[in-house]
Amino acid sequence: MKKRYLLSGLLILCWLFSFPVAGLAKEPALVINDKVVKTDVSPQIIDGRMMIPLRVVSESLGAKVNWLNQEKTVTIEANQKTLKLKVNTKIAYVNDQSLTIDAPPKLIQNRTFVPLRFIGENLDSDVIWDQEKYQAIIKAREEKIDNSYLPTPNEENTNSEEPSSEEPNPENQVQNPRVLTKAEYQENEDQTIINLWVESGQHKVTELTNPDRLVIDLSDTSKGVDGEATVNTKHVSTMRVGQFTPTTTRVVLELKGKVSYQLNQSANLLNVVLVPKTTSDNSSSQQPGEGYVHRVINDNNIIVVDAGHGGKDSGGVGISGRYEKDITLPTALKLKTALESRGFQVEMTRSDDTFLELMDIVNITNRVNPFAFVSIHANKAGNPSVTGVETYTFYGTDHTLADLVQSSIISKTQQVDRKVKEAGFVVIKYTQVPSILVETGFISNQGEEDFLFDPNNQTQIAEAIAEGVAKFKEIQNKTLTSIP
Ligand SMILES: [Zn+2]
C-alpha cells in the first residue's frame, strides 16, 4: 500500500480571539502570518525569550497538542514532527531526538507557556523578533497559502443547498467548539483515505459535478489548516481547506472521476474513504453496505492467508525497484508452513503469482468461513526514512487479533512499532470473520526493503504472525467454551 502524508506545512492560520487583551504595561505582540493574534493571556518575555500560552500553539499554529498534567509534559504534533517538552526542563525532544533548549516551558498562573522560537521553527516557520514594535513575527516557511485557490462561495454554491444568505466572511471568525487541526491522505491500491482531524460533530457532504468534487462542510468548526494541497491519488487530484462561513470549515476534494465514499467518525477523526464507483460490483453478491463490525466467531481450525497483490498488480515498488508482490507471496507461504506446524488448516487465496480482485479475496474468505483471515502486505511512504510494522483491522472491530500479531512481530524482529490501526480496506471490511492486514515493513526504505526480501526474515515474520494467531485462537477457544 502506498502511503503519503500531506505535509501540514500549510498549517499556520490566523485566529482572532474575541477576548480583550488585559494588559497594563507594554506587552509583546504576536503576529502570525501577517495577522495579529490576540490571546486571552499575554505572551511573556522570560530571560529574553518569548513564551506563548500553549493554547496558541494548537489554536493559532494548528498543531495537535497533548498536555499530561501529572508529568507536566506537553506533546506537540504537526508537519510530521512530534515535539516533547517538560515544564522547567531544558531537555526537549524532536521526533525522539533529544536536544537542549535554553527556554524551558513554564507554568504561570496555572497556564503552560512554551518557547515560541523553538516551537515555531520546529513547525517549519520563521520566527523574527521585532524589538522596535515589540512583537514576534511568525511566518510559515512554505508560502503555499494562497486563498485565491480556495473555493469562493458562489463557485461552490451553484449546485449545493448551502443557504446563500450565509455570507462568508473569513475575517470575522468566531470561536468555534471544533478545530480542524490536520488534513492528511493515504492511498492504497483501491482507495484514497482522507483523514480530517477534528472532534466529532455535524458535517454535510455534497457531491458536485463539472468538475467532480466532494465537498465536506464541518459545522461549528474553525480551520486549523489552510490552503490547497496536491494529493494526486487514483481518485483525488487536490484537496482544499477554507473557512466557508464563520462557523463552517469547508474541505473540497477535487476528484478524478466518479467515486463512492464512506465517512467514518471517531472521537477526533473524520475519515473519508473514497473507492471507485463500479457497476460490476453490483453482481458481487456479498457486499454489505457498511462492512462488518461484529465478526463471526467460528469453532474451527481453518485460517485464510492472503498474499497481497500478485500477477499484473505488483503492489508497491520498492526503493531499489523490487515489487511488493515478491515479498508478500514468499512471506505468506512461510506463514502457511508456520501455521500448519501449529496444527492449523490453511487456505491460501493464492499460492502463485496470480492476480485476484479484492472482492474475490473476500468471497473466498467468506465461503471458507475460517476462524480468522490474515493478509500480508508491505508498505510504502514518500519519506524514505520511514520504517516499521503496522497491523490493520476494520473500523470499530475488535483489536485482539491485530494486537497479538503486531506485538508478536515487534518482539521477534525488533522492527519499529507503528501500532495497530483501523482502516476500511476491502479485504478486512467485507470479510465476516476476525481479519487483519499486516504491513510487514516499508519497501521505500533501503534497509527495510533488504530486510523484507531476506528469506530468513520472512520466516521470522511468518513465525511471529503464527504465534500471534495461535494466542488469538486460544482466546477464541476460551470465549467459545464460556458460552453456555
Ligand atoms: Zn499492499
Nearest in space to 13 (alpha carbons), one of 76, 78, 105, 92 = 78
For 476, other C-beta atoms within 10 Å of its C-beta total 18
Q: What is the pLDDT of residues 195-206, one digit of tens each?
A: 888 888 888 888
**Distance between Cα 317 and ligand 1 center (Å):** 10
Residue 148 pLDDT greater than 60, yes or no? no
> Residue 20: pLDDT above 60?
no
Residue 462 alpha carbon to ligand 1 centre in Å:
17
Q: Which range, of 159-173, 271-285, 321-335, 399-413, averages the lowest pLDDT?
A: 159-173
- Please check whether residue 422 is in contact with residue 401, taking contact to mean a CB–CB distance below 8 angstroms: no
Q: How far is the CA of 398 from the centre of ligand 1 (A)?
A: 22
Distance 450 CA to ligand 1 centre (A): 17
| The predicted structure's pLDDT at residue 331 | 98
Angle among Cα 198, 139, 227 to the nearest 5 degrees reads 45
Give the distance, in angstroms, between the CA of residue 357 and the centroid of all CA atoms in the same chain: 26
Looking from the CA of 335 toward its CB, the CA atoms found within 13 Å total: 35
Residue in this structure with the C-alpha cell 501529572, named with its chain if needed: 70
Q: How many CB atoms lie within 10 A of CB 226?
A: 27
Mean pLDDT, residues 187-197 taken together: 77
CA 439 / ligand 1 centre spacing (Å): 7
Q: Quote the ligand 1 centre to 407 CA distance (angstroms).
A: 20
How many angstroms separate the CA atoms of 197 and 182, rounded? 5
At 60, the pLDDT band (50, 70, 90 cuts) reads confident
pLDDT band at 288 (very low <50, low <70, confident <90, very high): very low
Residues of the chain with pLDDT > 70, as a percent, come to 84
User: How many A from CA of 366 to the centre of ligand 1?
Assistant: 21
Question: What's the CA-to-centroid distance between 310 and ligand 1, angstroms?
Answer: 10
Tens of pLDDT, residues 118-140: 888 777 777 777 777 788 888 77
Domains of the chain, start order: 8-140 (3.30.457.10), 146-152+172-277 (2.60.40.3500), 302-482 (3.40.630.40)
Distance (Å) from CA 377 to ligand 1 centroid = 4
pLDDT at position 435: 97
Span 23-42, average pLDDT: 74
CA–centroid distance, residue 206 to ligand 1 (Å): 31
Q: What is the pLDDT of residues 456-476, one digit of tens each?
A: 999 999 999 999 999 999 999
Ligand 1 center to residue 324 CA distance, Å? 7
Question: What is the whole-number distance in angstroms between the Cα of residue 277 and the centre of ligand 1?
Answer: 21
For residue 188, report the distance from its CA to the centre of ligand 1, in Å: 7
pLDDT mean across residues, the chain: 80
More confident residue, 410 or 229: 410
- Band of residue 269 on the pLDDT scale cut at 50, 70, 90: confident
The Å distance, Cα 184 to ligand 1 centre, comes to: 19
Higher pLDDT, 284 or 53: 53
For residue 74, what is its C-alpha cell?
506537553
pLDDT of residue 484: 58
Is-contact 196 251, C-beta < 8 A?
yes
Least confident of 234-238, 324-328, 348-352, 367-371: 234-238
Distance 68 CA to ligand 1 centre (A): 36
Quickly count: other Cβ atoms within 10 Å of residue 397's Cβ.
20
Q: How far is the CA of 396 from the centre of ligand 1 (A)?
A: 22
Q: Where does 63-212 show beta strands of DSSP type E?
A: 64-68, 73-78, 81-86, 91-94, 97-100, 106-108, 111-115, 125-130, 135-140, 178-180, 182-188, 191-197, 203-208
Alpha-carbon gap, residue 202 to 210, rounded angstroms? 26
**Exposed e or buried b per residue across 83-110, where buried means at least 16 C-beta atoms within 10 angstroms of its C-beta:** bbbbbeeeebebeeeeeebebbbbeeee
Q: How many CB atoms lie within 10 A of CB 19?
A: 11
- The pLDDT of residue 176 is 84
Cα(74)–Cα(205) distance, integer angstroms: 35
Q: Rounded to the nearest whole angstrom, what is the distance from the C-alpha of residue 308 to the centroid of ligand 1?
A: 6
Q: Half-sphere exposure of 121 toward its Cβ, with a 13 Å CA cutoff?
A: 10
CA of 315 to the centre of ligand 1 (A): 5
